[in-house]
Amino acid sequence: MAEQQHKVCFMTGGSGRLGKQIASAMAREGYDIFFTWHSSHAEARNTLEAIQAISPSSAMVSCDISNVDEIKKAFAEFQARFNRLDLLITSASNFFGTPLPDVTEHEWDRLVDTNMKGTFFTMQEGASIMRNQNFVSRIITITDIAAELTWKNFAPYTASKAAVQHLTRVFAKVFAPSILVNSIAPGTFTINPEWNNGQELDDELANKIPLKRMGDPEDIIRTIRFLSQNDYVTGQIINVDGGRLLS
């Protein structure tokens, strides 16, 4: 395989709402993108079409990241196509309410196996490629400011995101100086369609945020751009939340 000229980004969750915007933005930044999807084939195709218009070598793979064998297969396919890994973005995640007294084992496994276990083994696979390269590469985990909050109806989700923030720091320490590992913790960007009753909820949420608006995907993308260019930041959790954690 000829030496690739373009930088390459492996990203989980390219079929997601923020995920698609991030993948497209990184393609515009000049990266070839290899992204995973799980159940949303139409959204994944849509993301792929958008990024292939900019970066024709980009590709996608179906992968249930709660299953370590599937993660390994996705990375094997990645390595059959690309001979470098500059940036790993872990965006795939499950999010749904689990009122504390009624959390089932199945709900716990769906949230924690995807968000925490899946992210850990994705980072492990990514780092095993990156550590053998002769240039600095980067991992960015996408977590949530809720990792620092005590939402009574989301404990498995918030615990999984807090765990990923912890893992971010451990990976940063273990793989320095060759891999820079940071996390972006978004505040409120999108609302699950089933909870959205229109402008009223948007306004109510915006009012709770010191900067008086919900996040725009570009707010995350600018932060990814910063982390992908900076050489002296590692092990950090960057809250991109319009000051939401202050209120």
Ligand X SMILES: NC(=O)c1ccc[n+]([C@@H]2O[C@H](COP(=O)([O-])OP(=O)(O)OC[C@H]3O[C@@H](n4cnc5c(N)ncnc54)[C@H](OP(=O)(O)O)[C@@H]3O)[C@@H](O)[C@H]2O)c1
Q: Which of 65, 87, 180, 240 binds ligand X (CB under 6 A)?
A: 65
Helix, strand, coil percent values for the chain (each to nearest 5): 50, 15, 35
Question: Quick check: 117 binds ligand X (CB under 6 A)?
Answer: no
Residue nearest to ligand X (CB): 16
Shortest Å, Cβ 21 to ligand X = 8
Residue 126 in the binding site for ligand X (CB under 6 A): no
Q: In sequence order, which residues have a C-beta less than 8 Å from that of residue 29 and are 6 or more positions away?
A: 225, 228
Contact 11, 33 (CB under 8 A): yes
Tell the smallest beta-carbon distance from residue 150 to ligand X (Å). Answer: 16
SS3 string, 50-70, reads HHHCCCCCCEEEECCCCCHHH
Segment interacting with ligand X (CB under 6 A) among 39-47, 98-106, 121-129, 197-205? 39-47
The region of 32-40, 99-107, 128-136, 168-176 touching ligand X under the rule CB under 6 A is 32-40
Binding footprint of ligand X, residue count (CB under 6 A):
28
Count of residues making up the chain: 247
- In angstroms, the CA 11 to CA 7 distance is 13
Euclidean distance between CA atoms 212 and 243, whole angstroms: 9
Interactions with ligand X, residue window 94-113 (CB under 6 A): 94-95
Interacting residues toward ligand X by CB under 6 A: 13, 15-19, 36-40, 44, 63-66, 91-95, 114, 142, 144, 186, 188-190
